[in-house]
Structure 1
Amino acid sequence: MIEAAMIWNEPNNRAHWDRALDPDGAGFADLAIRAGQAIRSANPAVTRVLGGVSPIDPAWLADMRARGVLDAVDAVAVHGFPVDWNLWPLDAWPARIAAVEAAVPGMPVWVTEVGVGSFGAEEVQLFGLERTAQLLVGRVPRIFWYSLFDLPMTWGEDGRHREAEGSSYYRHFYMGLIRPDGSPKPALDVYAAHAADIGLMQWFDFEDSRLDEAVGWLRRLGTRRVRTGLSWADSFRPGALDWFDRQMAALAEFDVTLTFAFTPRHLGLAPHHASPPRDPQAFADFCAAMIARYAPSGATRSPVPFTVVEGASPSPLDYATRKDAA
């Protein structure tokens, strides 16, 4: 069920990798090389992807190349949000991809997060999705829209400065195609028209109650590829393997790009999920164990039976009915 394994999430983003504890990037390079080798040993058929670079930074990628990281992965990934967070226009996507390709010659470049939020207006998101599809479909091998669900305001977002970031913080809560009450935004229909070419990226929190509903939407939208994650930090929670098993069983029918990231507080140089770990091999061992469990070498796909719990408000069936009647 696992097409690809992504090594960390936005490793050049201070919110996800503490540069103060690893100022020259040598610690992350060591971690990425170890993880890439561990994943390859567990299953050589799984594509190894260097975690999505955000902001897009060819110089950082060139440095990782010089440190040997690209020898331990099969593709590199970038994340871009030009309408909401990045200081470049939407139409600059082709130039941004070309700059990355020049920094990592011969490496496939995936776009594992791209999105336009509805913070200002839902019509902006609708236009942004359609234009993004025009710019990226056929240009890169993999595209994942971020995201399926809005982040509920009551959950909060784990940023560095939170509300002090102004609208940049609040935009985190409007990136989904489905509102917190379960109702679809106008851009959902646009996404459905591109579902064969654009996957969906959705983080699931530990024991996330939205998992069943998400699977229903993915099926009805015709989504083929899904990107999500298994948290190294969560693996130390009671019942972690039960939750991981349930999440992977739910997604068994899709081609999954699985992100491994987030340092357990007790294993970091500092007690924070963005801290470099004291022992990078421990992260590599986690990656290998998860690949061995969910994508064992030589195994063929045998989808795990999974029943969507209907009755969420509104049900994914409402979307199917609305589309059939159109």
Structure 2
Amino acid sequence: MIEAAMIWNEPNNKSHWDPEVDPDWSKFADMAKLAGQAIAAEAPGLTRVLGGISPIDPIFINRMKDFGVLDHVDAVAVHGFPLDWNLWQIGEWPQKVQEIRALTHLPVWVSEVGISTFGAEEVQHWGIKRTAELLKGQAPRIHWYSLYDLPREWEATTRHREAEGSSYYRHFYMGLLRQDGTPKPAAEAFAELTPDMGVVQWFHYHDHRLEDAVAWMKRLGVTYLRTGISWADSFRPNALDWFDKQMEALADFDVTVTYCFTPEHRGIAPHHSSAPQVPEEFAEFCAAMTRRYAGASKRSEPTPAPMPALV
């Protein structure tokens, strides 16, 4: 059911990996190597991707190379949001990819790129077309972030929440679809860019949007996407039932699944961004999920969902 397994998400971003617990990333490197080995043992040939970095930092990639992490993955990935959070202009995208490509023989994926509609929906409509022009031919996978706006009743996964000011609230407006499921102007533009461009959609535990998301992705012509399976969620009641439901619903797509988020009770610090107390436990989780979803020999046929209209 999956074409690639990504090891963590934004490991050089302190919203996702705690630098106070692991200031030199040596604990992350040990964990990532164990995970890469575990995934390869369960599914030889499955593409292993180092979690997309944000910011795009050549120094971090060199550190991972020095730690030997790049010997246990098949691709590296970058995330970029120049119109919202990064301190560089959108026209620098090819240069940013090249900075990482120059450091490794591995393919460089763009596993998150997006533009919020915090200020105006027209900005995203223009930006998605410009992004596609700049990244075409630059990466084997380009995942647009994201399909849906984050519901305003939820919390964005950041370190300092509302104290970040407008930077925090931009997280809630990254979707091609509004919270109520209606399309923004950029959705029609995106449909013209598929199947070359894929999408990112994180599904929360028992996410009510799952079936509608599948219908929308088919309507938009999406063939590949990136999502996540949370190690922390694996300790929730009936977690495997939810993981199975999610992965079965996505069976018609080429899925990159991101393994991430430390259970609070298994972290050195009680937080999802903490390095684990026992890194082998994360590797065991990666192995179990890979065995379950990359080892499936036959996809089930999901019940067709009605196709939503673009307008």
Residue 181 of structure 1 deviates from its aligned partner by 1.2
Q: Distance in 2 between matches of 1:200 and 1:131?
A: 16
Q: Within 5 A, what are the aligned runs for 1:285-304?
A: 285-296=284-295, 300=297, 302-304=298-300
Count of aligned pairs between the two proteins: 311
Query: Paired residue for 1:24?
Result: 24
Contact 1:213 1:308 in 2 (8 A): no
Query: Paired residue for 2:308?
Result: 317
Residue 307 of structure 1 deviates from its aligned partner by 2.1
Letter paired with 2:5: A
Query: Paired residue for 2:98?
Result: 98
Query: Paired residue for 1:220?
Result: 219
- TM-score between both structures, scaled by the size of structure 2: 0.98
Query: Paired residue for 1:313?
Result: none
Q: Distance in 1 between matches of 2:53 and 2:221?
A: 28
Contact 1:215 1:308 in 2 (8 A): no
Letter paired with 1:256: V
Query: Paired residue for 1:173?
Result: 172
Residue 308 of structure 1 deviates from its aligned partner by 5.0
Q: Distance in 2 between matches of 1:308 and 1:186?
A: 26
Query: Paired residue for 1:156?
Result: 155
Q: Indicate how the Cα distance of structure 1 residues 173 and 308 shifts in structure 2: closer, same or farther if over 3 A, else same.
A: farther
Residue 269 of structure 1 deviates from its aligned partner by 0.2
Q: Deviations over 1:18-56 (max 9, x none)?
A: 010011110000000000000000001210000000010
Contact 1:196 1:224 in 2 (8 A): yes
Residue 103 of structure 1 deviates from its aligned partner by 2.1
Query: Paired residue for 2:249?
Result: 250
Q: Distance in 1 between matches of 2:309 and 2:198?
A: 22
3-state SS of 1:63 partner: helix
Say whether 1:230 aligns with 2:221: no
Query: Paired residue for 1:6?
Result: 6
Contact 1:178 1:185 in 2 (8 A): yes
Query: Paired residue for 1:136?
Result: 135
3-state SS of 2:176 partner: coil
3-state SS of 1:260 partner: strand
Query: Paired residue for 1:306?
Result: 302
Give the RMSD, CA atoms, in angstroms: 1.0
Contact 1:147 1:202 in 2 (8 A): yes
Q: Deviations over 1:193-243 (max 9, x none)?
A: 011101010000000000000000011111000100000000000010000
Q: Distance in 2 between matches of 1:161 and 1:6?
A: 25
Contact 2:110 2:141 in 1 (8 A): yes
Query: Paired residue for 2:78?
Result: 78
- TM-score between both structures, scaled by the size of structure 1: 0.94
Contact 2:148 2:179 in 1 (8 A): yes
Say whether 1:203 aligns with 2:202: yes
Q: Deviations over 1:60-81 (max 9, x none)?
A: 0001001100000000000000
Task: Report percent identity of matched pairs.
Answer: 60
Q: Distance in 2 between matches of 1:209 and 1:68?
A: 40
Q: Distance in 2 between matches of 1:269 and 1:286?
A: 17
Letter paired with 1:293: R
Residue 318 of structure 1 deviates from its aligned partner by 2.5
**Which 5+ residue runs of structure 2 have no aligned equivalent?**
none
Q: Distance in 2 between matches of 1:200 and 1:226?
A: 5
Q: Distance in 1 between matches of 2:303 and 2:85?
A: 38
Residue 309 of structure 1 deviates from its aligned partner by 5.4
Contact 1:250 1:304 in 2 (8 A): no
